[in-house]
Amino acid sequence: MIGVILWSDAADQKAVIWCEDQGDLAFLANPELAECTDPFFQVGDVVEFDVRTERNLRLARNTNRIEHTMGHALADGLRSLADTPHEAAGSAETAEIIPFRIEHATRPLPGAIPQQQRRG
């Protein structure tokens, strides 16, 4: 799975990751990372990882940095949404979607129909 680091604590080697499937956040708390020579993940880092669910928590494993702080705009956008008042859940007519795109990953999915060939 691909995700963006929303919060990290280098001292404790822990992080919270927004996931591309827009499901629950994933938590990274891996003691194996304590001996890592690279700097720990920072807010906005785009990462690739395996996810497993344990006691209703999504846990990230085998985490690798893809891009350093490239997803910072996503983290900032989510943070700004938390700072603005919203109506009660279910009362809004539309949802605000925060776009997340990696420029070099724009290849078509296998079996995808090009836009001009779709029928209505």
Query: What mean pLDDT is reported for the chain?
Result: 75
Give dist(CA 85, CA 98) in Å, integer: 17
Considering only residues 116 and 76, tell me which one the structure prediction assigns the higher pLDDT: 76
Considering only residues 39 and 51, tell me which one the structure prediction assigns the higher pLDDT: 51
Question: Would you say 35 and 70 are in contact if contact means Cβ atoms under 8 Å apart?
Answer: no
pLDDT at 69: 73
| Domain range summary for the chain, segments of one domain joined by + | 2-75
pLDDT digits (tens, 9 = 90+) for 52-86: 998 889 999 999 998 887 766 766 776 777 666 65
What average pLDDT does the segment 32-61 reach? 82
What average pLDDT does the segment 45-49 reach? 92
What average pLDDT does the segment 3-19 reach? 91
pLDDT at 92: 55
The SS3 of residue 46 is strand
Question: Would you say 45 and 6 are in contact if contact means Cβ atoms under 8 Å apart?
Answer: no
Question: Would you say 49 and 17 are in contact if contact means Cβ atoms under 8 Å apart?
Answer: yes
Does the reported pTM lie above 0.85?
Answer: no
**DSSP codes joined into one string, 19-32:** ETT-SS-EEEE-GG
What average pLDDT does the segment 5-33 reach? 87
Considering the four listed CATH numbers 2.40.50, 2.60.120, 3.90.1340, 1.10.10, the one that applies to the domain covering 2-75 is 2.40.50
